[in-house]
Structure 1
């Protein structure tokens, strides 16, 4: 094996051995493990919109307004967008310099070392697997709602060996798994159609919502803080920061705006998934930054439009009183019950494209990890004709379908946020490291004011992580422990970087 698999001067037994960028790019061209470059800047922008604009735009903003921020939820969205934009700049610099699959995993392997790369890859698996299963589960729920709205009575659950199974999630995951196996470009075309439909529905909802706008509903813009009650006051439901500092559980006020930002950040996740497609993009140095930033700008405008329409339609107290507040809550409150049908169809269309992009992202992260030997290399084989990772796509689809169809995976919703934010933190720091270790590397896009902005990005994302619940952090710790065990039991001994130097760990 080529000894250039490791470019580090540190001992190869080190947990922080790195993989050279040149070898990373060379491995992407390995026969039998290649992907095909077919995506344009437009495809990438639509991918970003497709994965970000889902159920979150119809529900997360309403929950954040009612439970945390009040009318100032627009500030929560802006703060979350800022955190995402700073991190995405770091992704864009890496993706234009190292245009291969793997996203944050690949970038940290080249900068912060193998063990950290494995951990962040393991985090990405958590993010994409959980997100895919949660979204597929909700797709099945909204499918049932749409059936009822149009007076179609088809049961969405069936009994298999005495176990209740949701067939909707399994169906949609199966369809997109097949499409992704047939080719990324074909999947992108289907994705484009669904994305344009759901953006049209979102714009329609915003326009109609603004016709009920009442400026009085925006006062007070930042509601005064008040003690939390019920489940929000329990230790496991508190943010980790609140629990560590011993602060009394509360909502609203400035702290509520920040907690709202941590919640609505869920609506921005997915742009890191776009970076996983770097190996399938034409002219990546130019295309990746354009596609990523174009998608983020469009999504931010849509979210702000929804937030303004939502908080202008009804007082935030109406949303706070609802068990599961959503845009539909606001429309029903103003007597526009018909909008529930439009919103349900919009959510179903929105979730459809999210599932496709998450399935693609999960298989590409697994491709990069298995190509490096940290997972079995036989998984990374791609189709000779279509250049798609058939084995990994099937494994990804089966895992997501089983979780969505047979478990209550929706209780792990916040795990998606913590997996994403942890990746954002490390990628932001990795930009600073790569600037110092490889100043000669060609960069089609450079994060301005480095190292200041990358460090601000890391700090801001970590702060948002601290605003997630203590229960989420405990689950995250368990997931990391499982990942570390797999790395020491298998990955470290089979990593190609180690084997290239004759190491057997």
Structure 2
């Protein structure tokens, strides 16, 4: 069947070198490591961790981060093996196309677009909130929104997305240098949070470490929709905290680790990817995990988790304000603002690279994959992606779809993990510089763990996800399947063979 055809790896590599659609290899191991830290150390530390502690895990949010880190590490091993075997832009989409066929590749690419687009808009929205926080802390009364004709535009998110879109159009290396500068600043702020936070830690705030499950707030219908799928399937009444809360917290804070699959999308722009990619990805993941665990210990040790739960939008500043250290709260608010800038930049870059890979294959319009001659960047595509993210972030309440980012990422992680097994079976001749250890065991464990984290996301998230998949499948069958370059090549090869058969048949009749 056409939709189950896989794209040969050799063809994928050849397409990445197509004139007018190629990217330039400029990134080093250091750039990749900083890129991973840049995209991960942001909303995960400054916002999502506090939210998970307040609403799901309590002090056990540290365990939630550890579970999410293990799931990410296992999946990232699979990404590293794939990326060193097929070092081109597109990440999980490209890997799936080479192993499991066109339809599943489209679904994964569509989910990556969901992940990166929604994440870019949500993080930009967070950036706007922190900008308003910084203004209020320094005594400035600056309106968060402006009236543009009949619509109200939240100008902060719109501005920051526009700035980084311009930087990415000017070149990946330039963007990486700017990102490095901001990343060093926010790492300093995170270390400040850890050092100052531990000065306020009280042992009694860690008890109970895993809070006892309590009935969820809200009406019956609302509570059920907010309940995780696994809790609902087990017949449990809608509840917060407890053991299910720890895993629900892990599913939420997984948002903090989404950057590392984005790093894999830059494989085509990396110098010596066979060595650089694994080193950069794992160094970044290790640094980020250590920072997350230390910050979560400081956060839940400073104040009881109930104090965080009482806040409408719990963040790190909530804890420092609760202990009376408003000066630290100002530093954190500024650090959060700086931290989220680099997250936005890497997400915008990753989004453009996934769409570029899909358009190269004809599943999206081919015009989107054209790169500029001077800088070898997908300028028109980057501008389009940036404009859409800026408009959604500035004009909508996109933050309500936060968990959609996680389900899109986890679905890709599941397929990539299983794809390693398929790749090794179909192409034993490939010798990637990095291989996931313990044969099939770790890829299978990775897939199962990611599936379990998906099952711990809210029912309403699953409903939105099914709707998103339905829209994606409609686009594929209406456009993508008919314009697939793989299908065109197959049809051309078949038509080239057919006349020869007809000639042979004609000769046979004459004889």
TM-score tier after normalising by the smaller chain length: over 0.9
How big is the shift at 1:254?
A: 1.9
Deviation at 1:231, TM superposition (A): 6.2
- Structure 2 residue 166 is the aligned partner of structure 1 residue 178: yes
Maintained 8 Å contact 1:143/1:348: yes
Q: Deviations over 1:428-465 (max 9, x none)?
A: 01011101111110110000112111111111111111
Among 153, 162, 168, which residue is 1:165 paired with?
Answer: 153
Q: Who is 1:435 aligned against?
A: 424
The Cα offsets for residues 98-148 of structure 1, whole Å up to 9 and x where unpaired, read as: 000000000000001000000000000000111111111221222122122
Out of 91, 94, 99, which is 1:106 matched to? 94
The alpha-carbon deviation at position 42 of structure 1 amounts to 0.4
Superposed, 1:20-419 pairs within 5 Å as 20-230=8-218, 234-419=223-408
Q: Which has the higher helix share?
A: 2
SS at match of 2:326: coil
Q: Which has the larger radius of gyration?
A: 2
TM-score with structure 2 setting the length:
0.94
Once the two structures are superposed, what CA deviation does each residue of 1:166-202 show, in whole Å capped at 9, x if it has no partner? 1211211111111111110000000000011011001
Contact 1:363–1:396, Cα closer than 8 Å, also in 2: yes
Q: Tell me, in whole angstroms, the C-alpha distance in 1 between the residues paired with 2:223 and 2:215.
A: 12
Report if the CA contact (8 A) 2:71-2:450 is conserved. Answer: yes
CA–CA distance in 2 between the matches of 1:250 and 1:48? 34
CA distance in 1, matches of 2:113, 2:164: 18
- Which aligned pairs between 1:405-484 and structure 2 lie closer than 5 A? 405-484=394-473
Q: Unpaired segments of 5 or more residues in structure 2?
A: 495-511
> Which deviates more from structure 2 when the two are superposed, residues 422-431 or residues 63-72?
63-72
Runs of at least 4 residues off by over 4 Å: none
Give the C-alpha shift of residue 258 in structure 1.
Answer: 1.1
Identify the residue that residue 9 of structure 1 maps to in structure 2. Answer: none
CA distance in 1, matches of 2:149, 2:23: 40
Q: Secondary structure at the match of 2:3?
A: coil
Moved more, 325-334 or 423-432: 325-334
Instruction: Report the RMSD for the aligned CA atoms in angstroms.
Output: 1.4
SS at structure 2 position matched to 1:247: coil
Contact 1:231–1:237 at 8 Å: present in 2 too?
A: no
SS in 2 for 1:418: helix
1:212-265 per-residue CA deviation (whole Å, 9 max, x = no partner) reads: 111222222222323323369611111112222321122222222111111111
Q: Which residue of 2 aligns with 1:10?
A: none
TM-score normalised by structure 1 residue count: 0.95
Deviation digits for residues 1-46 of structure 1 (CA, Å, limit 9, x no counterpart): xxxxxxxxxxxx4311000111111110001100000000000001
The structural deviation recorded for 1:55 is 2.2
Which of 261-270 and 323-332 deviates more?
323-332
